[in-house]
Each structure stands twice: as C-alpha cells, then as structure tokens.
C-alpha cells in the first residue's frame, strides 16, 4: 500500500523568505518543499506539496486528499482564523492530520491565537520555524503507524 501525504499551505506562504523575516525566518517555501519531499520519500510517502492564496482552491485540495485517503499536513496560515469551510473540509480526512504554524501563534497578538482548524487536527505543531514541517512529517509517520 502506498501511503499518501498532502502538505498544503495557505495564504501568503509563497512569500516566505521575504515576508516578515523577523517572524518567519529567511527560508523560502521552495526550500521547505525540497526538504519535505526528501524526507517524505525517505519515509516512503507519496507526497503532494502545494500552496495557494485561494480558500476555495485549498478546500478543493483537502477534498482531493480525502479522496486519495491521504494524511494531511496543513499550514492554513490566514485561513486558520474563523474559516469554517476549511475546517469542514479538514474534518473529512480519515488519516492523521497535523496542523502546522511556523510561529508560535499563542505568543502572537490575539487575532492569531485561536485557530479554528485545531479542533479537527490529530496534532498541532507551532513555533518550530521551518523545521516544523519536518517534525510534522515524522509525526504523520508515527501517527499513521498507530492508527487502527
């Protein structure tokens, strides 16, 4: 059985490396993608890595992950806060779901502290920087093995 993993990224993450480097660091999303694909391959995942600034496109991709019986790592970015349609799509996923944030959202201003997506996630990783993606892949690998 091929294990499928979708790593989906929300709004403005295409600007990593240029956007608020004091918060997000200098690593680009392309750098993160290359590192993720290498680790996913080593752990024998068939991995899809995508980014969008469109909520509807993100929902379509989450539904695609559901239809592929894939695990999901999602950095919803700005779609984290009050986005019920994204939450409803994430609830479809039967495999492990890791919600990921590069910054520690709990140390940020109030509008960034409460992700609606967290209630549907198997686990949440925040504040580990770009390395959080690799931690999330390892978590998915472990959680997949523990699924009944």
3-state secondary structure of 96: coil
Pick from 8, 119, 10: nearest CA to 54? 10
As averages over each run of 10 residues, the pLDDT of the chain (148 residues) reads 93 87 84 98 97 96 98 92 88 97 77 77 94 98 79
Per the CATH hierarchy, to which homologous superfamily does domain 3-146 belong? Dehydroquinase, class II (3.40.50.9100)
- pLDDT value, residue 108: 62
pLDDT at 110: 62
pTM of the model: 0.93
Q: CB–CB of 132/111 below 8 Å?
A: no
* pLDDT for the residue 148: 43
Phi, psi of 62 (to 5 degrees): -65, -40
Residues with Cβ < 8 Å from 15, sequence gap 6 or more?
Answer: none
Answer yes or no: is 69 a known binding residue: no
Q: Just list the catalytic residues.
A: 24, 101
pLDDT at residue number 146:
67
Sequence-ordered list of residues with C-beta below 8 angstroms from that of 97, at least 6 positions apart, any chain: 71, 72, 73, 74, 90, 120, 121, 122, 123
**27 annotated as a binding-site residue:** no
Q: Cβ neighbours of residue 30 under 8 Å, at least 6 residues apart?
A: none
Task: Give me the residue spans of the domains in the chain.
Answer: 3-146
Q: Is 88 annotated as a binding residue?
A: yes
28 is in an annotated binding site: no
Q: Contact at 8 Å (CB) between 37 and 115?
A: no
């Amino acid at each position: 059985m091929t294990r499928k993993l979708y790593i989906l990224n929300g709004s403005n993450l295409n600007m990593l490396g240029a956007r608020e480097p004091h918060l997000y660091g200098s690593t680009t999303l392309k750098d993160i993608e290359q590192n993720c694909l290498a680790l996913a391959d080593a752990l024998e995942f068939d991995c899809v890595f995508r980014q969008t600034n469109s909520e509807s496109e993100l929902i379509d991709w989450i539904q695609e992950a559901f239809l592929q019986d894939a695990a999901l790592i999602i950095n919803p970015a700005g779609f984290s806060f009050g986005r019920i349609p994204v939450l409803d799509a994430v609830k479809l996923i039967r495999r492990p779901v890791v919600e990921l944030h590069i910054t520690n959202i709990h140390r940020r201003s109030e509008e960034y502290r409460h992700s609606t997506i967290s209630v549907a996630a198997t686990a949440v990783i925040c504040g580990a920087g770009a390395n959080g993606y690799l931690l999330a892949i390892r978590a998915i690998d472990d959680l997949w093995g523990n699924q009944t």
